[in-house]
């Protein structure tokens, strides 16, 4: 994995993280960010979406003031 392709993907994911007012929105935005990151890095898009959805949901539940 090249660092040049990893940095824009991480920037995209960081920009989309912690978005959404409801649980459904948090899952949807996290899944979108995870799928996009996986697509950019030639990974499994379904796995990326699942990890992104879970990650954003956990982040928003642990940091309620930032979502």
Could you list the residue range(s) of the whole structural domain that residue 53 is in? 20-66
Q: pTM of the full predicted structure?
A: 0.71
CA–CA separation, 38 and 24 (whole Å): 21
Residue 36 forms part of a structural domain: yes
Residue 8 forms part of a structural domain: no
Residue 58 forms part of a structural domain: yes
Q: What is the pLDDT of residue 45?
A: 92
The domain total for the chain is 1
Greatest mean pLDDT range, 5-9, 10-14, 22-26: 22-26
Beta strands in the chain (DSSP E): none
Q: For residue range 16-62, what is the model confidence (pLDDT) as tens digits?
A: 555 678 899 999 999 998 998 888 888 899 999 999 999 999 988 88
Residue 1 forms part of a structural domain: no
């Amino acid at each position: 994995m090249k660092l040049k392709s990893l940095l824009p993907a991480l920037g995209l994911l960081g920009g989309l993280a912690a978005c959404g007012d409801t649980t459904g929105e948090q899952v949807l935005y996290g899944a979108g960010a995870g799928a996009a990151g996986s697509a950019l890095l030639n990974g499994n898009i379904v796995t990326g979406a699942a990890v992104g959805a879970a990650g954003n949901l956990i982040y928003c539940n642990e940091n309620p003031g930032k979502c």
